[in-house]
Amino acid sequence: MEQIGYSKKVMEHFMNPKNVGAIENPDGYGKVGNPVCGDLMEMFIKVKDDIITNIKFRTFGCGSAIATSSMVTELAKGKHVDEAFNITRGDVASELDGLPPRKMHCSNLAADALQAAIKDYKTKKAKRG
Partner 1 sequence: MERIYLDHASSMPIDPRVLEFAERYLKAGFGNPSSLHSAGLAARRVMEEARKKIAELINAENETCIIFTSSATEANNLAIKGTALRNIEKGQKVAASAIEHISVLNPMKELQKSGFQLSIIPVDSTGMVDMEKLKEMVTNNTSVTSIMYANNEIGTIEPIKAISEIVHEKSAFLHVDATAAAGRIPINVQNDGIDLLTLSSNDLYGPQGTGALYIKPRLRLQPILPGGGQERGLRSGTENLFAIAGMGEAAMIAGKEMAQESNRLKAIRDKLIEEILKIDEAYLTGHPIQRLPHHASFRFSRIEGESILLNMDTMYHIQVSTGSACTSRTLEPSHVLLAIGLKHEEAHGSMVMTLGRSNSMEQIPMVIKAVKGTVQRLRELSPL
Catalytically active residues are 37, 106
The residue among 4 and 86 lying less far from partner 1, judged by its C-beta, is 4
Instruction: Please pick, from the candidates 26, 28, 30, 63, the single residue that binds partner 1 as defined by CB under 8 A.
Output: 63
Adjacency order of strands within the sheet including 28-34: 28-34, 39-48, 51-60
Per CB under 8 A, 78 contacts partner 1: no
Residue 60 CA to residue 128 CA, distance in Å, equals 33
CB nearer partner 1, residue 70 or residue 115: 70
Cα 123 off chain centre by? 19
30 φ, ψ (degrees, to nearest 5): -130, 145
Which residue in the set 28, 29, 30, 42 belongs to the binding site for partner 1 (CB under 8 A)? 42
- Cβ proximity to partner 1, 65 vs 96, nearer residue: 65
